[in-house]
Chains A and B, each alone.
Chain A
Amino acid sequence: MTTDTMNDHRQFESEFARLADRGDAISELRRAAYDRFLELGWPTMRGEAYRYTDCRPIAQADLRLATEGRDLPMDVLRPHLLEGVPTHRLVFVNGIFNETLSDIGTVTEGVTVCRLADAITEQPELVARHLGTTIDWKQDAFDALNTAFVEDGLLLHVPKGVHLEQPVHVVHVTVPGEQPIVSHPRTLIIADDGSRATCVETCCGHGDEACLVNPVTEIVAGDDVHVDHYRIVREGKGTWHIGGFGLTQGNESNVNSCCMAMEGALIRNGMTGTLDGTNGMANLRGLAIVDGDRHVDNFLRVNHMKPDCNSREYFKHILTDRGTTAFTGRIYVELDAQKTDAVQTNMNLVLSETAKVRTRPQLEIFADDVKCTHGATIGRLDEQAAFYLHARGIGEEAARSLLTFAFANEVIEDIEFAPLRKKMEALILDRLPHGELLRSMGDLD
């Protein structure tokens, strides 16, 4: 691969110029990130981070920054909403805030739930202090690109000791067209000491043309914080979704993040978690259902910087057809981070002869008193379990679906926020033959 077959990665020059003159609180960060993107260029499969994800089609597409939202009827949004729960909802179409579809509602006193664009002008110091601190945009071209083009998205700030009562739901709808577009939505969650919050992100597509969605979410968690974060990816058939996620957490903090990679031509989920206080727990989970010629890449790094922290990486992939998945999980344990307890799991259920799995568990440990385990499995459905189901009257296909559901369900069954768990269950069942047999299960609770 030579660069002359690709678009020059200066393709966004004029679009960046428009932003660069803005002179707001994060102008310098944007400029630094843009320059860094130019240095890095589009990732290639020669590097470690994108070894299993081919970015050439993205590099070669004549992408234009989306500058216009679209009016969408509520009906398009409805399948993505959480039923029966009030949320603080922000909806973006092609990265542009859509007032009509959004409904932020009344927020718990002291908490800020607003457009990031507003926060940049209204709370410039807060944004500038935290934005870009949890991700390694100097190393990752897509994170750099997002940071160069930060304009809008969500700011969630929960001050000290406050519990946000309702979840925040950010919906990014992408409506692609003939001209391939790119959007760079940003979510910044700042949870001060002793606070609690739940945030759900849905990235969904309305149309099958090629486009790039490049969202980055950052969570800055102080001491004794509990944050639950979920990202549901249901992009259009032609969408490349390259998502970034960064997390830093202080003492005694507990952060959960779960990514469901359901639909889209290509989904890459890059996550970096940094345990920067003692007794923290970072629980990163993911589920991917990959059919057709689709590809999902979960690329994780968890940094244990302080003693007595726990981390869990639990990622499951279900593959059919010619689907491909990659998993890279690196646990880094600093010299100081004694009594680290880290578990990394990647399980792959392969339902066809033509699917392909790549899994790379990696440990990098400098402390000497730690417990780090990793496990990766690649397997088929359990014949003994299938026979057991048959012996109870459940036919071949329904038994396969039930066992596939069981495999997937282990990722989400501990989610306490029931409406979301049910939503996720339904999303899984939608993808299984005879899902309707199981769909009515939810009403047994």
Chain B
Amino acid sequence: MLEITNLHASVEDTPILRGINLTIPSGEVHSIMGPNGSGKSTLARVLAGEESYEVTEGSIILDGKDLLDMDPDERACEGLFMAFQYPVEIPGVSTKYFLRAAVNAVREHRELSELDAYEFLQLVKEKAAALELDTSLLDRSVNEGFSGGEKKRAEIFQMAMLDPKMCVLDETDSGLDIDALKIVSEGVNALRDGNRSFLVITHYQRLLDYIVPDVVHVLVDGRIAKTGDKELAKQLENEGYASIESTVANSA
């Protein structure tokens, strides 16, 4: 589904990603863990196409198409979804209005018919119920005044509404208490259907107790330093990143 080859990226001429190779087959959940400053969030933002991140080398292929050739909105239409670590507040436009514009933009690109008000609201009802999301939230402006948990739940709700192929979760666990974490994780798990792929970026192993990954990668200093199964995450939780960091430092 997603093939990242020798990816290098910089922010304001400072190299952050230094040759990432990563393949996520259809239906798999991969996790990227790593210490602060290792480039985890940069990877998410490069995938989403944020302008201030410059790709200097390498390629990203999404389902056979060159992602780096696409504008951010095209990437979303092609099935990439990034759940933001810090969802942006947009006062003045209700979540419902915004989502309908998004859903129909994506559907138009995928050559599906536009949802009318009734169909849209049915879809909202169905997806919100699965996430235990209070639909009155959707009448409020996009993310405005939402609690941390509400923001993250709203991101996952948007994900469910847009029906992506490849989901990137950028530190979705940050700022969540255990109950919110469970609800969000259940929402994500409900979207695992054997075809949709996930890249779960997190600093802590805790999230991976709920969203159990097929593969865990450890990102250190802009490269993948180690790859393993879910046990690797547990090992990191016990031992910290120090042992891997020192291995990387020695081999460099």
Contact = CB atoms under 8 A, between A and B. Distances in A.
Given A398-B105, A437-B101, A385 B73 contact: no
A327 B175 CA distance: 42
A388 B100 contact: no
A444 B120 contact: yes
Contacts of B98: 389, 392, 402
A249 to B, nearest CB: 29
B90 A406 contact: yes
A445 to B, nearest CB: 8
Interface in B105-123: 105-106, 109, 117, 120-121
A413 interface: yes
A443 B84 contact: no
B91 interface: yes
A292 to B, nearest CB: 24
A440 B117 contact: yes
B90 A403 contact: yes
B85 to A, nearest CB: 12
Interface in A425-445: 437-438, 440-441, 443-444
Nearest to B109: A393
Interface of B is mostly: helix
A109 to B, nearest CB: 37
B77 interface: yes
Contact of B105 (A382, A393, A403, A444): A393
Nearest to A392: B102
B120 A394 contact: no
Contact of A396 (B73, B82, B121): B73
A316 to B, nearest CB: 10
A286 to B, nearest CB: 16
A391 interface: yes
A409 B90 CA distance: 11
A442 B109 CA distance: 23
B101 A398 contact: yes
Interface in B93-148: 93, 96-102, 104-106, 109, 117, 120-121, 141
Interface of A: 382, 384-385, 387-396, 398-399, 402-403, 405-410, 413, 437-438, 440-441, 443-444
Interface of B: 48-51, 71-73, 75-77, 81-82, 84, 87-88, 90-93, 96-102, 104-106, 109, 117, 120-121, 141, 158, 162
